[in-house]
C-alpha cells in the first residue's frame, strides 16, 4: 500500500481516499495499484457492502493524472508512462464493471484522471462545489480514462464542446451530461458516509446496479437518494442550441468558423489556443467513440492516442507552458489547424520513431 491512498473499513463500507492534497490528489502509479488491490480484496469480502471514493483536502476529489510524471518520464526516454497509462485504464474499466456499489464523491475539482476513477462508478455524487472538466487539449493531449466514451454519450454536441473548449461543468451540468447521478450538498457528505457505513453487509450487494435508476434498485441508492437535492437547471443545457449547431461539423476548422459566425468569439478563441493536433485527434476519437459498444473499445483507442501524444513535442510544450513555466504561450507544432494534414496525423500516430509498447490487454467486455 501507499500513503498516497488511504484504504480502510468503516462498518460495511470499504473506503478509498486519494491522499495527495498538495497536488490536488493527482493520481500516481502507486495509487492506481493500491486501488486495484483494494478492489480485488473487497470484491469477495461479504463484510464489505459498498466501496466509497473521496479525496483528501478541501479543494476537490482529483485534478487528474500525474502529468508531471508523464512529462519527466518522456524526457528520459518514455519507458515508464505506458505502464502508468495501461494500469490506470485497466482500473477505470474495472470500476465500470465492479460487482458491488461503487460510490464516488465528486466534490470540488474533478478533472482528467479524477473523472476516470469516479464517473465510471455505479453511483456518482456531485455537490454545489463540483467543477468537472477534461482540459487535455490545452497540454497537447487527448481526453482519456474513458473520457471519450463518456463525452460521446452526452446530449447532442455538449460532450464535443466540453472536450474541445475545455468547458467546466457544474454539478448540475455533470448530471445533465451523464457524468454523474445525484447532487448532495457538500455539508451533508459526512452524514451520507456515516449512513452508508451503517448499512448491513449482505451478499445481495454484489449484484450489478443500474446507473439509470440507482435509487430504485439498491439499498445504497436509496440511502444516497435520501440525501440528494434538486440540482437546479444546468447552465450548459441553456447553451445547447448553438452548441449543437456549431459542433455538428466533423472538422475542427469548420467548428471554429461556425462559432465565429454565431458570435461565439470567446469560445472560438479558446479552441484555437489549444494544440491543433490534439484538437483534431480528440474530435476524431469522440466521433469514433459514438460507435463503440463498450467502454473498453474507447480505452483501447485512447491508449494508442495518448502514448503517441506523450512522445510528441506538443505535450512537452503544453506542460511547460501551462504547468511548469506558466507563461501560457505554448508554441505548437504545427501552430495552426491548417497545418494538421492527414500526413501529419499519420506521422504523429505511426511514425517509425515510436516504439512498440505492451498491449493494454483489457478483458473482453461482457
Question: Residue with C-alpha cell 469516479?
Answer: 118
What is the pLDDT of the chain when averaged over all its residues? Answer: 92
**Does 144 participate in catalysis according to the annotation?**
yes
* Contact of 25 with 64, CB cutoff 8 Å: no
State pLDDT tens for residues 237-255: 999 999 999 999 999 999 9
Tens digit of each residue's pLDDT (9 = 90 or more) over 333-343? 999 999 999 99
CA separation for the pair 214, 123 (Å, rounded): 7
Is the bond into 334 cis (omega within 30 degrees of 0)? yes
Q: How confident is the model at residue 364 (pLDDT cuts 50, 70, 90)?
A: low
pLDDT in tens, 159-174: 999 999 999 999 999 9
d(CA 287, CA 349): 17
pTM score: 0.93
Residue 267's pLDDT band (cuts 50, 70, 90) = very high
Residue pair 157/247 in contact by the 8 Å Cβ criterion:
yes
- Is the model's pLDDT at 67 over the cut of 80? yes
Instruction: Confirm whether 113 is a catalytic residue.
Output: yes
Instruction: Write out 93-162 in H/E/C secondary structure.
Output: HHHHHCCCCEEEEECEEEECHHHHCCCCCCEEEECCCCEEECCHHHHCCCCCCCHHHHHCCCCCCHHHHH
Residue 213: pLDDT band with limits 50, 70, 90: very low
pLDDT for 351 beyond 80 = no
Report the C-alpha gap between 212 and 217 in whole angstroms: 10
Catalytic choice (14, 60, 65, 140): 65
| The pLDDT value given to residue 363 | 72
At 43, is the pLDDT very low, low, confident or very high (cuts 50, 70, 90)? very high
Active-site residue, from 4, 92, 107, 144: 144
pLDDT at 204: 44
Burial class (CB in 10 A: 0-12, 13-18, 19+), 129: middle
Q: Mean pLDDT over residues 62-86, rounded? A: 87
- The predicted pLDDT at position 142 comes to 98
The set of residues, in sequence order, having a beta carbon less than 8 Å from that of 173 and lying 6+ positions away, is 132, 234, 235, 236, 237
Mean pLDDT of 263-283: 98
Whether 75 shows a pLDDT value over 90: the answer reads no
Burial of 114 (0-12, 13-18, 19+ CB in 10 A): buried
7 pLDDT more than 90: yes
pLDDT score of 210 more than 80: no
Other Cβ atoms less than 10 A from the Cβ of 351: the count is 11
65 annotated active-site: yes
Q: How far apart are CA 137 and CA 321, in angstroms?
A: 13
Q: HSE of 332 in the Cβ direction (CA atoms, 13 Å)?
A: 23
Domains of the chain listed by start with CATH number: 5-350 (3.90.226.10)
With bands split at pLDDT 50, 70 and 90, how would you rate the model's confidence at 202?
A: low
What pLDDT band is residue 200 in, cutting at 50, 70 and 90? confident
Average pLDDT over residues 299-320: 94
**Arithmetic mean of pLDDT, 110-135:** 98
For the ranges 9-23, 190-204, 322-336, which has the lowest average pLDDT? 190-204
C-alpha separations of 364 from 96, 139, 209, 299, 361 in Å: 13, 31, 20, 12, 9
Q: What is the pLDDT of residues 128-169, one digit of tens each?
A: 999 999 999 999 999 999 999 999 999 999 999 999 999 999
Task: Kindly indicate the confidence band of residue 66, based on its pLDDT and cuts at 50, 70 and 90.
Answer: confident
pLDDT-based confidence at residue 76 (cuts at 50, 70, 90): confident
Out of 11, 108, 112, 113, the active site residue is 113
pLDDT of residue 2: 78
Q: Which of 33-42, 210-219, 248-257 has the lowest mean pLDDT?
A: 210-219
Annotated catalytic residue, options 4, 73, 92, 136:
136
Q: Which residues, including other chains, have CB under 8 Å from residue 2's CB and lie 6 or more apart?
A: 28, 30, 31, 33, 34
Say how many C-beta atoms besides its own lie within 10 A of residue 104's C-beta.
28
Amino acid at each position: 500500500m501507499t500513503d498516497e491512498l488511504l484504504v480502510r473499513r468503516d462498518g460495511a463500507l470499504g473506503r478509498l481516499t486519494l491522499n495527495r492534497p498538495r497536488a490536488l490528489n493527482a493520481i500516481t502509479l502507486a495509487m492506481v495499484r493500491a486501488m486495484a488491490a483494494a478492489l480485488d480484496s473487497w470484491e469477495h469480502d461479504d463484510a464489505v457492502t459498498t466501496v466509497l471514493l473521496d479525496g483528501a483536502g478541501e479543494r476537490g476529489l482529483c485534478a487528474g493524472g500525474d502529468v508531471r510524471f508523464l512529462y519527466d518520464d518522456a524526457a528520459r526516454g518514455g519507458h515508464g508512462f505506458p505502464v502508468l497509462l495501461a494500469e490506470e485504464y485497466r482500473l477505470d474499466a474495472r470500476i465500470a464493471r465492479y460487482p458491488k456499489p461503487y460510490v464516488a464523491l465528486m466534490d470540488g475539482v474533478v478533472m482528467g484522471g479524477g473523472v476516470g476513477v469516479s464517473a465510471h462508478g455505479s453511483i456518482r455524487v456531485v455537490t454545489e462545489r463540483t467543477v468537472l472538466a477534461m482540459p487535455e487539449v490545452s497540454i497537447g493531449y487527448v481526453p482519456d480514462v474513458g473520457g471519450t466514451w463518456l463525452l460521446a454519450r452526452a446530449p447532442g454536441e455538449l460532450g464535443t464542446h466540453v472536450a474541445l473548449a475545455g468547458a467546466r461543468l457544474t454539478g448540475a451540468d455533470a448530471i445533465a451530461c451523464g457524468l454523474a447521478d445525484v447532487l448532495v450538498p457538500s455539508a451533508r457528505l459526512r452524514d451520507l458516509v456515516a449512513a452508508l457505513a451503517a448499512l448491513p453487509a449482505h451478499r445481495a450487494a454484489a449484484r450489478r446496479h443500474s446507473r439509470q435508476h440507482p435509487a430504485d434498485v439498491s439499498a445504497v441508492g436509496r440511502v444516497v437518494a435520501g440525501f440528494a437535492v434538486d440540482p437546479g437547471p444546468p447552465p450548459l443545457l441553456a447553451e445547447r442550441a448553438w452548441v449543437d449547431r456549431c459542433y455538428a461539423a466533423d472538422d475542427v476548422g469548420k467548428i471554429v468558423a461556425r462559432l465565429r459566425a454565431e458570435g461565439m468569439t470567446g469560445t472560438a478563441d479558446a479552441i484555437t489556443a489549444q494544440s491543433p493536433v490534439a484538437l483534431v485527434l480528440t474530435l476524431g476519437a469522440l466521433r469514433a467513440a459514438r460507435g463503440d459498444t463498450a467502454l473498453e473499445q474507447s480505452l483501447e483507442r485512447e491508449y494508442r492516442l495518448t502514448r503517441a501524444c506523450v512522445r510528441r513535442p506538443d505535450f512537452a510544450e503544453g506542460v511547460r507552458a501551462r504547468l511548469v513555466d506558466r507563461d501560457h504561450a505554448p508554441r505548437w507544432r504545427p501552430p495552426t489547424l491548417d497545418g494538421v494534414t492527414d500526413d501529419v496525423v499519420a506521422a504523429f500516430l505511426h511514425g517509425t520513431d515510436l516504439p512498440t509498447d505492451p498491449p493494454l490487454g483489457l478483458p473482453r467486455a461482457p
